[in-house]
Amino acid sequence: MKKNLAIILAGGTGSRIEGELPKQFLTLAGKTILHHTILKFETHPHIHHVFLVTNGAFMDRSEEIVRLGGFKKVVKILNGGDTRQDSSRIGVSAAGPETYGNVLIHDAARPFVSKEIIDDILEKLDTCAAVNVAIPSPDTIVEIDDGDFIKNVPDRRYLRRVQTPQGFQLSVIREAHRLALENNITDATDDCSLILKLNLAPVSVIEGSPLNIKITYPMDLQLAEKIMEIEREKKTGIW
């Protein structure tokens, strides 16, 4: 039986949060954001291994977080690339297809991924080669032109806000990154977009959670402290 792998992308610099450190190394409820994120995969019964793709300038700190957290499933810590797509390719390329069947690629900046989301992705991967996780938008989303006039109001029923983890049968995402490199495709902001751009497989969507935020701006840190409290009190029903 092949193993399920999680690749956690922590290779960014966190420029939008304007912190003293890349955001994955900032503290939330007494631990780093990276610690909280790794813990979600470490404690999931069906994730066998974790690769951590980190910012090379913070390799020592990353190794220390893994060691102090006692994270036994983290079997590789790799230097990331200049873009998220590069970091993802580096992680995926380091995964041997003889060992791993499914891979979940996750942003280190999303510490609130739930066990249910991981369960749902793994279940979907039995029948689909690529699985995205997304939530409906409570706001109407409009498309604008260069002059800031509304060009189009797409039907909200068909719009979703994409999160991570995104799940793949390893062979498919490996092929996507190989082709992207070969064809100089460098602008994919997430891995499912790469699959779609290259027309490699249909991408199925499962329902995410409004709590599964990506910590991006300074205000998100305050929001994240609140979500930690909600997680602790197991009151997720109020969201």
Binding residues for ligand CTP, per CB under 6 A?
9-16, 22, 24, 53, 80-84, 87, 107-109, 214, 216
Cα 51 from Cα 38, distance rounded (Å): 10
Closest separation in Å from C-beta 82 to ligand CTP: 6
Nearer to ligand CTP, 4 or 54 (CB): 54
- Grouping H, G, I as helix, E, B as strand and the rest as coil, residue 31 is strand
Identity of the residue, 49 or 84, whose beta carbon is nearer to ligand CTP in the bound complex? 84
Whose Cβ is closer to ligand CTP: residue 107's or residue 128's?
107
CB of 232 to ligand CTP, least distance (A): 23
Closer to ligand CTP at the Cβ: 15 or 184?
15
Kindly state the smallest distance separating residue 131's Cβ from ligand CTP, in Å: 18
Whose CA is closest to 209, among 113, 111, 109?
A: 113
Q: Which helix (H) or strand (E) holds 6?
A: strand 3-10
State which residue has the least CB distance to ligand CTP.
12
Least CB distance to ligand CTP at residue 1 (A): 29
Q: Residue 106 carries which DSSP code?
A: E
Nearer to ligand CTP, 202 or 218 (CB): 218
Cβ proximity to ligand CTP: between 101 and 210 the closer is 210
Token duo for residue 232: 């602790």
Say which amino acid occupies 35.
H
CB of 211 to ligand CTP, least distance (A): 17
Instruction: Decide: helix, strand or coil at residue 25.
Output: helix
Report the alpha-carbon distance of residue 89 to residue 217 in Å, rounded: 26
Write the DSSP string, 128-195.
Answer: -SEEEEEEE-SS---EE-TTS-EEE---GGG-EEEEEEEEEEHHHHHHHHHHHHHTT----SSHHHHH
User: Smallest distance from the beta carbon of 15 to ligand CTP, in angstroms?
Assistant: 3
